[in-house]
A and B are shown apart, each in its own frame.
Chain A
C-alpha cells in the first residue's frame, strides 16, 4: 500500500503515514478552512491500513502546536480509527508530543487519552 505524505503549510500539518515502517506522523499546526477536506484522505488511508498492515507495530505520532475546533473533532475521528485497530488486535499505540511547559497541549492529550483504550503516551519535548 502507498504511503501518505502531505507537506504542511501555515494552516495544515505535515503528514507522513508510512505503511512500511508503521510510523504515522502528524506534525505542525492544524487550522484548515475545511478540516474534513484535509483529514478525509487520512481517515480513508487508515481504513485501508487496517486491512493491509504488515508491520509488527504501528505508532501514531502527533506533535501539534495548535489546532482549531473542527480539527479537534477530526483528530478524535483519527484516534477512534486507531482505537478500533487496537480493538481488532493490531499492535498499535499513540504518542502525543507537546512542547516543554505547554500545559494546554499536555492536558488536551490527557483529554483525548481518557476516551480511548489504545495505549496513549504523552511525551514532553525538551527545548533545543
Chain B
C-alpha cells in the first residue's frame, strides 16, 4: 500500500481532471462546469498554499528565536561553569599556598634563623627581611599555582578537538 500523504485530496482532484481531459465528446457546458470546479479547487489550493507558507515561516521564526535563546543559555551556562571552576581552583590554590607559607615559616624559624644567628649574630633586621621576602613571595606563588590548576581543570573539561574556553580573570 502506498504511503499516505497530506495532499491526498489534491492528488485525487488532479487525477479526476486528467481523466476528464482524456474523455471524448465532452460538451461546451460540461467543460465550463469542470473549469468552474477547477477554479474553486485552485482558489482553495492557493489559500492553503499561502496559509501554509505564512504559518511555516512564522514557526521557522519561532524555532530560530528558540535556537538563539538556547545559544544564549549555553553561553550563560559555560560562563557559570567557568566561574565555578575558577572559584574551586582559587580555593585549592589558597590551601596549597597556606601549606607552603606554613612550611616556609617553619623552615625560616627552625633552619634559617639559627643559621643566621650562628653566622652573623643576633640581627633582627635580617630575620625580618627573610620573613618579609617570604611573605612577598606568597602572592606570586598563589597566582602561579592558580594558573597551573586552572590549565589542568580546563584540559580536564575540554572535549577532544575542542579549543579550550578562556574564563575571564
A115 engages B58 (CB within 8 Å): no
Does A76 sit within 8 A of B, measured CB to CB?
Answer: yes
Q: Do B62 and A69 touch (CB < 8 A)?
A: no
Task: Say which one of A7-15, A20-28, A29-37, A46-54 lies at the interface with B.
Answer: A29-37
Q: A105-B62, A107-B58 given as contacts; is B8 within 8 A of A112 (CB)?
A: no
The answer on a CB contact under 8 Å between A115 and B47 is yes
Tell me the number of A-to-B contacts counted with CB atoms below 8 Å. 54
Residues in chain B near residue A73, CB distance under 8 A: 6-7, 48, 52
Tell whether A70 is near chain B: CB-to-CB under 8 Å: yes
Given the interface contacts A73-B52, A76-B48, does A66 sit within 8 Å of B63 by beta carbon?
yes
Least CB separation from B66: chain A residue:
A66
Q: A66-B63, A73-B48, A76-B51 are in contact. Are A108 and B58 (CB under 8 A)?
A: yes
Q: Which of A102, A112, A115 contacts B62 (CB 8 A)?
A: A102
A104-B8 CB under 8 A given contacts A69-B52, A76-B48, A115-B51: no
* A115 CB to nearest chain B CB (Å): 6
| B4 near A36: Cβ-Cβ < 8 Å | yes
Interface string of B42-77 (1 = CB under 8 A from A): 000001100110111011011101000000000000
In whole Å, how far is A97's beta carbon from the nearest beta carbon of chain B?
Answer: 15
Which listed residue, A37, A72, A105, touches B52 by the CB 8 Å rule?
A: A72
Q: Which of A88-110 contact B (CB under 8 A)?
A: 102, 104-105, 107-108
Distance A9 CA – B54 CA, assembled complex (angstroms): 26
Contacts of B54 in A (CB 8 A): 108, 111
Does B3 lie at the interface of the complex (its beta carbon under 8 Å from any beta carbon of A)? yes
Q: Is B159 an interface residue (CB 8 A)?
A: no
Q: With A and B bound together, what is the CA distance between A68 and B65 in angstroms?
A: 16
Query: Which residues of B lie under 8 Å from residue A40 when comparing CB positions?
Result: 4
A74 to B3, CA, bound (A): 16
Q: What class of interface size applies to chain B in its complex with A?
A: 10 to 19
Chain B residues whose C-beta falls within 8 Å of the C-beta of A66 in the assembled complex: 59, 62-63
- A45 interface residue (CB < 8 Å to B): no
B5 contacts chain A at the CB level, 8 A cutoff: yes
CA gap between A78 and B61 in the complex, in Å: 24
Residues of chain A touching chain B, judged by Cβ–Cβ distance below 8 Å, are 34-37, 40, 66-70, 72-74, 76, 102, 104-105, 107-108, 111-112, 114-115
Query: Which of B's residues lie within 8 Å of A, judged by CB?
Result: 3-8, 47-48, 51-52, 54-56, 58-59, 61-63, 65
Q: Provide a sorted-by-A list of 15 A–B residue pairs whose CB atoms are within 8 angstroms.
A: A69-B52, A69-B59, A70-B6, A72-B51, A72-B59, A73-B48, A73-B52, A76-B52, A104-B61, A104-B62, A104-B65, A105-B62, A108-B55, A111-B51, A111-B55
